[in-house]
Amino acid sequence: MFSFLSAPMGVAYHIVFALAQFLAPLPAGLATAGAIVIFTVAVRLLLAPLSYCAFRGQASMSALQPKIAALRKRYANQPDRLQRELTALYQQEGGGMLAGCLPLLLQLPFFSIMYRLFLAKTVDGRPNGLLTRDLLTTPLGSHWLTGAGPVSIHGLEFLGLFALLAAVGFVTARLTRAASAGLAAPDQPAGLAALGRLMPYSTLILAAFVPLAAGIYLLATTSWTTAERAVLRRMTRHSGSSQDGVGAGGHGRMSGGAGVG
C-alpha cells in the first residue's frame, strides 16, 4: 500500500545512518537517538515555509469564525443561500479552508516517510539497522511492554520518554487555550470538546505502542511543532501590533499636519 514511499524511505534511512556514524563517539548509544532528532529537525526546517503558510491560513479561518457563525444563523433555513454566501466570503478573504489545509496536506508525505522509517523492520528489503541500535541498554526497536518489561531500566527509559511527551502535551494545551482566548468558539458536544482537550496528549498514548525509535521521533517532531507555533503566534501578534502602531502614528501625523495648517 505504501510502496511508493520505499525509495524516499531508503534515502532517509541512509541519511540517518550516516548521521549516526558521524555521532558515533557519543556515549551510551546516544548517536542513533541524536541522529533521529537531528534528521527530524532538519526536515522540519525544510518544511517551515509550508508550516508558516498553514498557520497563516488557519489564523485567517479563526478570524472568520464570527462572520461564518453569523451567516449560519442568518441562513439556517436556506442551505443553498448559505453555501453561496460562505463561498463568497472565502473568495473575498483569500481561498477559505484550502489556504490552511493545502500546506498541511503537502507535508503529509514527509511525515509519513519519517514515521514509517522508525517503525519498519525492513528498508529496501534489508533489516532496518537503526532499530538494532541501543539507547543506554534498550534497543531502539523494542516496545514498552516487551523485553525486560516496564519495571526495569528498559521501562525507566520509556517512562522518561513518556514524561517528556506529557510535558510537551501540557505546554501545547496551554498555548492552544491561550490562542483561543477571546475567540468566538462554535458550540460543540461535550464529547467532542473533551476529545479536543485530549488531543495534545495523543502522541503520549501512541508512544506506548510503537518502538522506542518512533517514540524519540514523536518527541522531536511534537516539540518542534509546539515551539514553531509559539514563535509563529508571537511573530503574527508582533506584526499586527506594528501595523496598528504605524497606522496610529500615521493618523497622528495627519492630525498634527491638519492642526498646523
> Tens digit of pLDDT for each residue in 10-37?
999 999 999 999 999 998 789 999 999 9
pLDDT of amino acid 253: 40
pTM of the model: 0.79
> Tens digit of pLDDT for each residue in 94-123?
655 566 677 888 899 999 999 999 999 999
Specify whether the CB–CB gap between 117 and 10 falls below 8 A.
Answer: no
Q: What letters, b where the CB count within 10 A reaches 16 and e where it falls short, cover 243-256?
A: eeeeeeeeeeeeee
> Tens digit of pLDDT for each residue in 37-70?
999 999 999 999 998 888 877 777 777 777 888 8
Q: Quick check: 214 pLDDT over 90?
A: yes
* Domain residue extents for the chain: 3-255
Q: Quick check: 193 pLDDT over 80?
A: no
Q: Can you say how many angstroms the Cα of residue 42 is from the centroid of all Cα atoms in its chain? A: 14
Long-range contacts, 239-245 (Cβ 8 Å, 24+)? none
> Tens digit of pLDDT for each residue in 177-187?
877 665 545 55
For the record, the C-alpha cell of 45 comes out as 526546517
pLDDT of amino acid 248: 46
Confidence of residue 241 (pLDDT cuts 50, 70, 90): low
